[in-house]
Amino acid sequence: MIGQRPRDEAAAFQALSPLIDGRAGLVNIVTRIPRMTGRHRFPIYTASMGNPASLLPGRVDAPLPLAWAGMDGAGTGLADDLARLTATVEAVERYSSCVWDNEQLIWDTGRNLGREALDLETVPTCSAEELAHPACPLVAPDPGAPMRWVRGVNLMNGRPSWVPAVMVYLHIPFVSRAERFWLPISTGTAAHFDYDEALLSAALECVERDSLTLTWLQRLPLPRIELDVTTPELDRARAMAERAGLRTWHFDATTDLGIPTVYSVDVDPQSTRVHTYVMCATDLDPRRAVAKVMRESSSGRLSMQYQKPHDKPLDEFGAVFDGAVHMALAERRHAFDFLLGSPGRRTLSSMAPDVPDSARERLAWVLGRLAERGCTAYAVDVSSDEARSVGLRVVRVLVPELMPLSFLHRARYLGTPRLYAAPERMGHGRRTESDINPWPQPFA
């Protein structure tokens, strides 16, 4: 724990108040989004940062554009305090993941660093067909090519380890061809007043993104969840969600890792533009995972209202909302039939594993599950000075063997062994690249 952990959401938000100032604060203002439609039932907040691009290193040559409000945090919850806190923490988290100092980095090859570095042979890769496509911007990982590395720790053995900088920081420019093996993304970044909680949240997000990617790319007919157990939190979330007038299906997306994951599909029968929307959450308590997808689906649907319809060719899909906007149209609902028509059923109570109580023990349990499947895990502390000043710790966790989320349709890492091995272990049969879902990723 860093300092004294705040006792509740209101105290935690108060601890962050030195960072919030409309004139000179890291966060300009934290505001509640007005309810725009009856579909918007959960309180949703944004933490505005404006456009700090000019303050960040390397922005001119970064591969991803950073526009005004591009780093704003968003948060939702059952009550205002949690939504407001979540939005503010997310803004600080995003900012921290974009800040680095060149003095932190070394220039070397993976082969030369050897066991002191993340093994590039384990990272996801595009298939030969993808790499040959003119719209694919990536190259295969090359252990013999020089690139930048940052110091982290191997969570499996506690030893210091070098990690590719492009896998750690957002909006970092490529400075060599070798660094183009990876698309910078926020997966595995988390912030908390407690180190163990931050590491646990970050690791669970890696598992979540692996599951939603496997589900969509392999069109896994997941069993539908029967909500046979509940909590007061889940009861409130269900009541709020039901008033939104949506029809929602929840599916057990737990993979061969055995870490509870919930995938949801909700349909708005009154909308043709934002008709179908998906969400995913991983939590050691599957009841919390269900409540989380309900909350975050509400926030996501609100964001979708601001997205303009487009007719881009698939070769140009790369922005976060490109696939979600494309797939949300009512005319494409049939693309979700592999889920909506799945005959399987699973009770929510049967998804709950026997896990310890403390965050440190839970983290060890998750790392143990990953190790059983031959995975490694690395962590880098990316806390900015601003985050540290209020007691927050921001971490990036990498599990290179898992499937990453990609919004770039021509770079979906289809050459990654896990994409084919995991479904087969889960009883879905042997699959090849020709079986991959042709529709773009609907998650945003």
Q: Are residues 217 and 341 in the same domain?
A: yes
Read off the amino acid at residue 345. R
Q: Are residues 209 and 86 in the same domain?
A: no
pLDDT at residue number 226:
98
| CB distance 57 to 99 below 8 Å | yes
pLDDT at residue number 50:
78
Domain end call among 97, 128, 160: 97
Residue 148 backbone phi and psi in degrees, to 5: -90, 140
| CB distance 341 to 281 below 8 Å | no
Residue 103 within a domain: no
Residue 91: domain span: 9-97
Domain end call among 80, 97, 114: 97
The separation between CA 284 and the C-alpha centre of its own chain, rounded to angstroms, equals: 16
Residues forming a β-bridge with 32: 45
> Which residues of the chain are modeled with pLDDT < 70?
1-4, 36-38, 53-55, 57-70
Give the ranges where 53-187 is alpha helix by DSSP (H).
80-96, 110-113, 128-132
Structure confidence by residue, pLDDT tens digits, 51-107: 776 667 665 455 555 554 568 899 999 999 999 999 999 999 999 999 999 999 999
Burial string for 177-194 (b: 16+ CB within 10 Å, else e) reads ebbbbbbbbbbbbbbbbb
pLDDT at residue number 63:
54
Sort residue 383 into left (φ over 0), alpha (ψ -120 to 50) or beta.
beta
Please classify residue 433 by burial: count the beta carbons closer than 10 Å to its beta carbon, then call 0-12 exposed, 13-18 middle and 19+ buried.
middle
Please classify residue 200 by burial: count the beta carbons closer than 10 Å to its beta carbon, then call 0-12 exposed, 13-18 middle and 19+ buried.
buried
Residue 408 within a domain: no
Number of domains in the chain: 2
Closest CA to 405 of 336, 329, 320, 340: 320
Q: pTM value? A: 0.95
Domain end call among 69, 97, 125: 97
Residue 244 within a domain: yes
CATH of the domain at 296: 3.30.160.660
Residue 281 within a domain: yes
The separation between CA 194 and the C-alpha centre of its own chain, rounded to angstroms, equals: 20
Residue 330 within a domain: yes
pLDDT at residue number 66:
52
Tokens of 162: 């070098």
Residue 93 within a domain: yes
Residue 137 within a domain: no
CATH of the domain at 73: 3.30.160
| CB distance 414 to 129 below 8 Å | yes
Residue 442 gets which letter from DSSP?
-
